[in-house]
Structure 1
């Protein structure tokens, strides 16, 4: 679970009064993140745009890796490779399909 320091938490009313300085603090990485509270409950976290892009890329890559793992699982039932070919056989098959390898 993510933890927040006192300076990383702000109520929505206070945020309304100090929005510009809070945005600048997050954008300049003076503060890593800000948890915005409403009715004493965290509702939103504000992070720098570059950090959001980094996290989004990691998430997208993770989804891709999971998709690849699913394909491997489908092709290797019970964790065993049902059919395999040597590297030379693979090259030969690719060349027969018109691939320049």
Structure 2
């Protein structure tokens, strides 16, 4: 399970109101990730495009290795 700092947990209503601010924080790498919380549950994680592509590429490589075996 991924751990989140308190400042990485953002209520969905606040995220919607301050989307530009949070986007700037992600793009500048001020924060690595933000967990969007609704009804006291993490519903989504906001990450940069670069981070998503890194994770997706690693996943694809792993899937290809599994298929080879």
TM-score normalised by length of structure 1: 0.66
- CA RMSD, Structure 1 to Structure 2 (Å): 0.6
Detail structure 1 runs of 4+ shifted over 6 Å in the superposition.
none
What are structure 2's unaligned runs of at least 5 residues?
A: none
Q: How many positions carry a matched residue from both structures? A: 69
Does residue 1:28 correspond to 2:28, yes or no? yes
- Structure with more relative contact order (C-alpha pairs < 8 Å, separation 6 or more): 2
What are structure 1's unaligned runs of at least 5 residues?
A: 70-101
TM-score normalised by length of structure 2: 0.96
Between Structure 1 and Structure 2, whose CA radius of gyration is higher?
1
More strand by share: 2
